[in-house]
A and B are shown apart, each in its own frame.
Chain A
């Protein structure tokens, strides 16, 4: 009728989501735990990006940090210790319309989930991963983590841990098809938010390592990390993460680093003197496995039946 298309839909004004639309319950982390800060930053991101809660899924493993999805008023999957990556990849594979986040701890990611983690990097699906690195097992009460510094006193190494830690940045940067590696810290809110936002906007698998405070079990380390500002250097580059002025003022060491330079990124990741906050590496052209996964969606029942019948023909007597 009068050229109006049959499937014409009148665009209704969209609902505007406020912060409270993303909040659920009271987070049961210790006071002073860094996890609270990440939760706030992520809720802010959701509001800023206006992510529909029903189209957003937070997948986590097990640990203090992995309780995170319970505090988001979106869809969530609080699964098994170390197994957030395969679940998240499965969610995304045939549902490209969903915004998928992975929340994982240093034990969850770098120890029990290490195999899944490096393969998730290689799959490079459009997923934002936030790895809460408090260098300890919080949930199970202070055991050595794979990222604990050598000599860390814990309940499993009362006289100090004996092995050098895994370096998650270096490991990520060493994996083929890596596409986004960044580091931030929970107590630098402007940088934390900017980093998570950059990860969310990255078209591929964003690996964000957040240096975390475990106030309960890592008091002295927290003290050292938060007071010794000279140990931290902020990465700057026009293609990197642009932190707010407050962050730039708070830390006097800045380092210009081009995030397309993987060799330089690896050197920074190896640096034992300084912790760099910012974007280590980004490659928007890396092969995306989620595009492969979703390349043949939406067959009609007739198409499916016809295809199976055509195959059956080859087996017909």
Chain B
């Protein structure tokens, strides 16, 4: 082994005692297909099982089979783990494991490493047959050092070759073993994790991976002096660990939703994969439709027939579902729509995070189409909000849209194990005779609410229509009926809004600056606000979970701060840009809404780099605003 070049920015690795850390950020990056993600997921799961707070995010290449040893091929994972709760992916990484010298450059371009980041890199390229590769490797190592990284060259393949003829397949588990020693992971838990990961493979495959795990561990013990400890706090309650898409799948089943009708699209699809594996065991089924229009139509058909259904998609699919969403609003059909947002417009950035569908879900349907929109801010909320969404959809007889995003979809975090309840499940389909004299849309004037007949209920026969209709579901073009029914559909939102409480301010209730966020950015924003407050800044934050209707009391809260600014992952013009003036500036999506809703001059900080927001960047922005 060659030694690290050492750097003042990191603790000297040449100590034999373990260095205790509050948290660490680790990245594993390989060519697509080399299994960096599997190693990282296992590391994250083992850490969570040991009681660490964990957040993992995948680094996903955009192409299916990018050429190896290219920047496009970079595939991997970031694991941020610590002693306390971890709510976001954090700032720059502390440790990078790289399977070749090229793939780190994708991440270097994204500025995710710092001076002092420890790089553990596969050394076999130094002796490669190709002179070009040898040269590329040597140059990169020099460049890493010039950037201030602490480089360790690791003979990963050479060591694996001692155990397996095909090290490409097992290197990742060897790396897991090496990291397990560096961070003193529980090897029994690591072995159990390998057995679970390879549960569908043969015993021989499992055994071979277990051997590699142990070999990596032993090698690190003998050759590496990197030893850290990130103490874990024994959890007081039972926890589960999963990503946001799996949490959605669990939520769908815990809500008793019996049908998920979908068309595959990144980054929503893995929810469907999880559902496909388990929903039949809990009495439901998944329908892969011919396209997103058919998917939502199918779900609406099932909902109409009494089985409130869910359709799950991402931006481009949401666009196709538009007309049916309008129908569900107009004809008052309960429906749960999950939009796992990605970069847009158009095909955009399929695997990257963005919060750009807010205005589209609110205003994407021609005509006035009021509906409830919710945004979970944690993985745990991905679970609970589906249950909530189904209840609202049925009680208020309208579509409910849940906005998740790529950040929550692939982020993995432990949370208290949900204690499932019968009242979360949808009730059995009502097949009792329909009450005589009650019309299919017998709206209550005060609330806009009504009861809907379900096929099978004798006496309730009606024809649902997307045309303007009376309480008896009769098509009508009478101007006053259209005005009145539009008001009634809108009133349902106001009725629902009455059940909401004003949101809690994180930090002081008044001050210089209030940051407002929604969705997956909560962890990063609250961490940043916490850090800035420690530095003495007068800043607080507010996180919205309901975007339509909005939580009450916002204007009153905003007025207690000198400045209000949203922080979002979507596009906004910057006042420094050419041609942009305060008058023509296009704001971030929540900022538009809040400005309209509250008449407060709300600013915004947003970008579309496709990356989760970093707390450090938000802290910088806060300081900049406060020092203006």
Chain B residues contacting A317 (CB-CB under 8 Å) are: 48-49, 51, 235, 238-241, 414
- Asked whether, in the complex, the Cβ of B290 is within 8 Å of the Cβ of A115, the reply is yes
- Asked whether, in the complex, the Cβ of B305 is within 8 Å of the Cβ of A57, the reply is yes
Checking B51, B235, B283 against A303 with a beta-carbon cut-off of 8 angstroms, the contacting residue is B283
Given known contacts A80-B323, A116-B290, A311-B250, A54 and B458 CB-to-CB distance under 8 angstroms? yes
Chain B residue nearest to A94 in the complex (CB): B307
| In the bound complex, CA of A119 to CA of B297 (Å) | 13
* Min C-beta distance of B192 to chain A, whole Å: 12
Stretch in B10-18, B59-67, B416-424, B542-550 with 4+ CB within 8 Å of A:
B416-424
Chain A residues contacting B253 (CB-CB under 8 Å) are: 304, 307-308, 311
Given known contacts A87-B301, A89-B301, A80 and B281 CB-to-CB distance under 8 angstroms? no
* Min C-beta distance of B42 to chain A, whole Å: 14
Given known contacts A54-B457, A75-B461, A93 and B302 CB-to-CB distance under 8 angstroms? yes
- Asked whether, in the complex, the Cβ of B240 is within 8 Å of the Cβ of A304, the reply is no
Checking B242, B254, B281, B304 against A87 with a beta-carbon cut-off of 8 angstroms, the contacting residue is B304
A299 at the interface (CB under 8 A from B): yes
Chain B residue nearest to A297 in the complex (CB): B283
A3 at the interface (CB under 8 A from B): no
| In the bound complex, CA of A97 to CA of B457 (Å) | 12
Stretch in A33-41, A66-74, A163-171 with 4+ CB within 8 Å of B:
A66-74
Chain B residue nearest to A22 in the complex (CB): B461
Chain B residues contacting A311 (CB-CB under 8 Å) are: 250, 253, 278, 281-282
Number of interface residues of B (CB under 8 A): 69
Chain B residues contacting A53 (CB-CB under 8 Å) are: 458, 461
Given known contacts A77-B464, A115-B294, A296-B283, A91 and B49 CB-to-CB distance under 8 angstroms? no
Chain A residues contacting B239 (CB-CB under 8 Å) are: 316-317
- Asked whether, in the complex, the Cβ of A95 is within 8 Å of the Cβ of B464, the reply is no
Chain A residues contacting B281 (CB-CB under 8 Å) are: 307, 310-311
* Min C-beta distance of B420 to chain A, whole Å: 5
| Contact code string B180-203 (vs A, CB < 8 Å = 1, else 0) | 000000000000000010000000
Chain A residues contacting B284 (CB-CB under 8 Å) are: 296
| Contact code string A215-254 (vs B, CB < 8 Å = 1, else 0) | 0000000000000000000000000000000000000000
Chain B residues contacting A303 (CB-CB under 8 Å) are: 282-283
| In the bound complex, CA of A236 to CA of B352 (Å) | 61
- Asked whether, in the complex, the Cβ of A79 is within 8 Å of the Cβ of B287, the reply is no
B466 at the interface (CB under 8 A from A): yes
- Asked whether, in the complex, the Cβ of B294 is within 8 Å of the Cβ of A116, the reply is yes
| In the bound complex, CA of A307 to CA of B250 (Å) | 11
| In the bound complex, CA of A89 to CA of B288 (Å) | 12
Stretch in B256-264, B510-518, B552-560 with 4+ CB within 8 Å of A:
B256-264
Checking A69, A72, A90, A315 against B301 with a beta-carbon cut-off of 8 angstroms, the contacting residue is A90
B280 at the interface (CB under 8 A from A): yes
Chain A residues contacting B283 (CB-CB under 8 Å) are: 296-299, 303-304, 307
Checking A77, A86, A115, A116 against B463 with a beta-carbon cut-off of 8 angstroms, the contacting residue is A77
Within 8 A of B (CB), among A277-317: 292-293, 295-299, 301, 303-305, 307-312, 314-317
| In the bound complex, CA of A205 to CA of B256 (Å) | 29
* Min C-beta distance of A82 to chain B, whole Å: 8
B475 at the interface (CB under 8 A from A): yes
- Asked whether, in the complex, the Cβ of A90 is within 8 Å of the Cβ of B456, the reply is no
| In the bound complex, CA of A77 to CA of B306 (Å) | 13
- Asked whether, in the complex, the Cβ of B309 is within 8 Å of the Cβ of A90, the reply is yes
B462 at the interface (CB under 8 A from A): yes
A209 at the interface (CB under 8 A from B): no
| In the bound complex, CA of A311 to CA of B252 (Å) | 13
B392 at the interface (CB under 8 A from A): no
* Min C-beta distance of A74 to chain B, whole Å: 6
| In the bound complex, CA of A265 to CA of B49 (Å) | 64
- Asked whether, in the complex, the Cβ of A54 is within 8 Å of the Cβ of B305, the reply is no
A141 at the interface (CB under 8 A from B): no
* Min C-beta distance of B540 to chain A, whole Å: 33
* Min C-beta distance of B241 to chain A, whole Å: 6
A214 at the interface (CB under 8 A from B): no
Chain B residues contacting A295 (CB-CB under 8 Å) are: 285
B597 at the interface (CB under 8 A from A): no
- Asked whether, in the complex, the Cβ of B287 is within 8 Å of the Cβ of A54, the reply is no
- Asked whether, in the complex, the Cβ of A87 is within 8 Å of the Cβ of B300, the reply is yes
- Asked whether, in the complex, the Cβ of B297 is within 8 Å of the Cβ of A90, the reply is yes
A98 at the interface (CB under 8 A from B): yes
Given known contacts A86-B294, A93-B302, A308-B420, A296 and B280 CB-to-CB distance under 8 angstroms? yes
Chain A residues contacting B304 (CB-CB under 8 Å) are: 77, 87, 90-91
A157 at the interface (CB under 8 A from B): no
Chain A residue nearest to B290 in the complex (CB): A119
Chain A residues contacting B618 (CB-CB under 8 Å) are: none
| In the bound complex, CA of A70 to CA of B259 (Å) | 28
Chain B residues contacting A130 (CB-CB under 8 Å) are: none
Chain A residue nearest to B282 in the complex (CB): A307
Checking B235, B282, B420, B455 against A299 with a beta-carbon cut-off of 8 angstroms, the contacting residue is B282
Checking A83, A95, A98 against B297 with a beta-carbon cut-off of 8 angstroms, the contacting residue is A83
- Asked whether, in the complex, the Cβ of B293 is within 8 Å of the Cβ of A83, the reply is yes
- Asked whether, in the complex, the Cβ of A95 is within 8 Å of the Cβ of B462, the reply is no
Chain A residues contacting B467 (CB-CB under 8 Å) are: 78
| Contact code string B430-458 (vs A, CB < 8 Å = 1, else 0) | 00000000000000000000000101111
| Contact code string B215-251 (vs A, CB < 8 Å = 1, else 0) | 0000000000000000000010011111000100010
Contacts A69-B463, A70-B475, A317-B48 aside, 20 further interface pairs with beta carbons under 8 A come to A58-B463, A76-B463, A78-B464, A80-B297, A83-B293, A86-B297, A87-B297, A87-B298, A88-B301, A90-B297, A90-B309, A91-B305, A95-B306, A98-B305, A116-B290, A296-B285, A308-B253, A308-B282, A312-B417, A317-B239
Q: Which residues of B contact A (CB under 8 A)?
A: 48-49, 51, 196, 235, 238-242, 246, 250, 253-254, 256, 258-259, 261, 278, 280-285, 287, 289-291, 293-307, 309, 323-324, 327, 414, 417-418, 420, 422, 425, 453, 455-467, 475
Identify 9 residue pairs between A and B in the complex whose beta-carbon atoms are under 8 Å apart, listed by A's number.
A69-B463, A76-B461, A77-B463, A79-B327, A94-B258, A95-B455, A296-B283, A304-B253, A311-B282
